[in-house]
Amino acid sequence: MDIFFLAAVALLLAGVVGSVVPVAPGAGLSLAGIYLYWWSSGYAVPGLAALAAFTLVGLAAIVADQFGGALAANAGGASAKTTLLASVVSIPLLFVAGPVGLVLGIAGTVFVAEFYRTQSAGRGARAAAFAAVGVLGSAVVQLIVTLSLLVGFAFVAV
């Protein structure tokens, strides 16, 4: 086996693991593995159509990861200001309290901001629940996508 193939597979596996580890760029690592192998093959494998498909899927996963919680909170009735505030507040909480801090930080911030804005605990709780599910859902999407990139790469490259 060629060293570039092994490095690509290692990056794809790191992408799968990174998809469930907060702050790790799961889909980005997966795409790096695919592009490394594409480069090492003289831009031949995977073909351009497969490379374009891998790229679109990977970029969609990156977008879902970055905006999943915010989009879900918005779908739950939170205002744009609330979703922005939750995104900003969640970053330091992630480093202080880890993944639990991320989910609780986003949900708590959304609840407090929406309760303040609407004076309705029910509306605040609904938006907070949507935000929490969105954060967790984006991790699941990342895992499925990075696994599919790994399987797709193995199918194309082997």
Q: CA dist 53 to 18, 59, 107, Å?
A: 21, 10, 34
Q: 30 near 144, Cβ under 8 Å?
A: no
Q: 130 near 68, Cβ under 8 Å?
A: no
Q: Phi/psi class of residue 45: alpha, beta or left (left: φ > 0; alpha: ψ in -120 to 50)?
A: beta
pLDDT over 90 at 45, yes or no? yes
Q: State pLDDT tens for residues 79-135.
A: 989 988 887 887 787 778 777 778 888 899 999 999 999 999 999 999 999 998 988
Summary mean pLDDT of the chain? 90
CA angle 53, 58, 155 (to 5 degrees): 55
Q: State pLDDT tens for residues 13-28.
A: 999 999 888 777 899 9
Q: Where are the domains of the chain?
A: 3-157
**153: its two tokens:** 């790469």
> What's the pTM value of the predicted model, to 2 decimals?
0.79
Q: 64 near 141, Cβ under 8 Å?
A: yes
